[in-house]
Amino acid sequence: MRDTTGAGGTGPACDQDRSTILRGSSGQEGARGRPASQQGMRQHNLALVMGTVAADGPVSRAAVAGRTGLTRAAVSSLVDELLAGGLLTELGPASNGRVGRPGSALAVSERGPAGLGLEAGVGHLGACVTDLRGEVRVWTQVESANAALAPAEVLARLSALADDATRQAAELGLRPVAAVVAVPGLVGDVPGTVDHAPNLGWHDVPVASLWPGELPLRVENEANLGALAELWAHPVAADFVHVSAESGIGAALVVGGRLFSGARGLAGELGHMPVHPEGSPCSCGARGCLEQYAGKAAVLRTAGVTGVGGDVIEALAARAGQGDARVLEALEQAGTALGTALAGAVNLLDPAAVVLGGAYAELGAWLLPSMRRELAARVTVRSWDPDALTVSQLGRRGPLLGAALATVRTILEDPAALWS
């Protein structure tokens, strides 16, 4: 995944079934199966061609036909439709080492339809536009004390940020077709509604109904989107647990290259797994939750570090790097609590890897030793490789990037939906 904005570490259709977005495969398996022969053949075959070019491009029409099993005439017709829709582009003659006239090389377009990702965190707002190749073309984040604002005001500010990102995208020849917003809370059965986001103070907030923007909007949990960004941009395994910390602690489980979201879409609340059953009271109403010992607020409090926004994590890491004893002790305690909670997850789920994302990724150097120690002590009924616990390359960028890529994946897997 290449970020062409130089932003560095700081920097779907509304009514579609959420499984289309959240349970899409890690590659193009669904699109690259056998040619369809029943109802929906053309829709399926458009996805088949689009998926082949996305996975293997630049590639000629003849090569697409060979890899999909479609006739060259059928491929030519489907390619023309995708070219007209702005999803593919022709790069010129493609040399295949054979005698005769070379075919024209096809690639996924760097212009045209795009994905808009949005994020409403406790202390910030973000907007991101990715093209169909998955490359970041626009990236904007601003500080915003959202927990102190009414949901409608947060969404109005986020809509203004989305409008600005859309204008920037238009200057690059990109047209976002839908938006996905990442929120630090539970998104349940009712589409577009945040059931519970305690760190924002949101309860049963109809985000999609309050949304003042023009693009169709979906709402998704930030931890889920962070895991999907990891899966799509830097896959470490087809089966992994992704755990991240921002305002709270979230986790997501990817099984066989697909997100497991639970019976009601609420899986992954690792932050409210008890690690000290009679411990400190939690905002969720229970006691001794992991969040009270390894959440960002808890770590900062124990470390004696104050501040808001992303800079406070950088300050924490800087003081840890300088050998600050209080900070090192706070991170060691947080790692121990995380390792305890994740040992239960590893024993129950048997993932191939555990990935630390969000703010944890920037603190991995100090969290990993105590986490690995706890995992080694508690995962004893099966083998566990310490190197299976890794740090995300995306860091805090994951949820926002995942939100933009969710729309891109939807387009790649069903391009016909753009004009049907």
What is the DSSP annotation of 315-377? HHHHHHHTT-HHHHHHHHHHHHHHHHHHHHHHHHH--SEEEEEEHHHHTHHHHHHHHHHHHHH
**What is the dihedral angle through the alpha carbons of 108, 182, 220, 200, rounded to the nearest 10 degrees?**
180
Q: Residue 373: what pLDDT?
A: 96
Rounded to an integer, the average pLDDT of 307-323 is 85
Higher pLDDT, residue 153 or 277:
153
Percent with pLDDT over 90 in the chain: 68
Residue 408, CB half-sphere, CA atoms under 13 Å: how many? 33
Residue 131 has pLDDT above 90, yes or no: yes
- Give 389's pLDDT tier (boundaries 50, 70, 90): very high
Confidence check: pLDDT of 4 > 50 = no
More confident residue, 2 or 307: 307
Looking at residue 125, the DSSP 8-state letter turns out to be: E
User: Could you tell me where in the chain the CATH 3.30.420.40 domains are found?
Assistant: 113-227+399-418, 237-392
198 falls in which pLDDT band (50, 70, 90)?
Answer: confident
Distance from C-alpha of 402 to C-alpha of 127, rounded to nearest angstrom: 11
pLDDT tens, position by position, 155-172: 999 999 999 999 999 999
Architecture in CATH for domain 31-108:
Orthogonal Bundle (1.10)
Q: How far apart are CA 196 and CA 151, in angstroms?
A: 12
Give the mean model confidence (pLDDT) for residues 69-84: 94
What pLDDT does residue 269 have? 84
Q: How confident is the model at residue 53 (pLDDT cuts 50, 70, 90)?
A: very high
pLDDT at 20 over 50: no
Q: Band of the pLDDT at 95, cuts 50, 70, 90? A: low
The pLDDT score that the predictor gives to residue 203 is 93
The average confidence (pLDDT) of the chain is 86
For range 236-258, the mean pLDDT: 90
Domain with CATH 1.10.10.10 in the chain: 31-108
**pTM of the entire predicted model:** 0.85
Give me the mean pLDDT over the 92-117 stretch.
77
Instruction: Give mean pLDDT, residues 1-7.
Output: 40
Number of H helices, E strands in the chain: 14, 16
pLDDT of residue 36: 47
CATH number of the structural domain 237-392: 3.30.420.40
Decide if pLDDT at 278 tops 60. yes
pLDDT tens digit sequence for 342-376: 999 999 999 999 999 988 999 999 999 999 999 99
| CATH dotted code for 113-227+399-418 | 3.30.420.40
pLDDT given at position 101: 52
